[in-house]
Chain A
């Protein structure tokens, strides 16, 4: 039973206030958002910070719902996504991870690098360019999620692709919202 304590301890050490692992759907997204909102309300968080955190959470969760579907290798092994929120003294950390095919890694890396290269005005221009020209994809996305996350956080999006096996990698993404 020590794993229960270990998990608890590691959550505390990482300042995590919410972790969800498993299937991601719109219904689960709503529940996770409601929990996080209650959590911030009970801490008496400022509404402007709450809104930014909520914003980034929605884009992050809906990205997973649309693109990060877990898949089964066989009956006993499946790869699911994970979502977590951490709170340190002066910042919130919204992090997620989901499996994806290695073929999709480079395209995603390019998108993230493009966003991370831009300053505030550059991001605003990119947002306007995309929204003018985009059509909603089959999966329901507008291609604006990362740009919006970068704009709302005012920070670079941190990411990593961790190789899992010959076919797959694990995509980890972290956005930080400062409380200053």
Chain B
């Protein structure tokens, strides 16, 4: 599978989806003008990956900030992970960022995927 590699910018997150090396990561800030358009390649990639996933995949979410439109798309991304056997989510939040911790908790209540929480 091709690697999806998006450089982060001031309003979009850094995204790496690399099956061969087992790296799946979304980090940084997410407040794009058009969140649906921005996340579509990610959703497409995951859809393809779901049909031939690695035995286990750890998805790292290390978000500093996301807006509400992105939060809907992040939920869509997490929902895609429900279809991937052996998928696990690693939700990172800054140690004093209760809102990001709570956001992760809420997502974990909305999707059937295992979450692990860590601070950075």
Binding site for B on A (CB under 8 A): 26, 30, 34, 47-48, 51-52, 54-55, 58-59, 62, 65, 124, 127-128, 131-132, 134, 136, 140-142, 144-145, 147-148, 152
Contacts and interface: CB of A to CB of B under 8 A. Distances in A.
Interface in B69-88: 69, 71-73, 75
B96 A144 contact: no
Given A58-B67, A62-B67, A132-B110, A142 B72 contact: yes
Nearest to B74: A131
Q: Which bracket fits the contact residues of B?
A: 20 to 34
B33 interface: yes
Interface string B13-33: 000000000000000000101
B110 A128 contact: yes
Contact of A148 (B10, B11, B68, B97): B68
A128 B72 CA distance: 10
A147 B106 CA distance: 15
Nearest to A127: B106
B65 interface: yes
Nearest to B102: A124
Contacts of B2: none
B57 interface: no
A147 B103 CA distance: 13
Given A48-B96, A128-B106, A59 B67 contact: yes
Contact of A136 (B11, B72, B99, B106): B72
B67 A140 contact: no
Contacts of B7: none
B4 interface: no
13 contacts: A30-B10, A47-B94, A48-B97, A65-B33, A128-B106, A128-B109, A131-B72, A131-B110, A136-B36, A136-B73, A140-B36, A144-B71, A145-B68
Nearest to B109: A128
A39 to B, nearest CB: 16
A152 B99 contact: yes
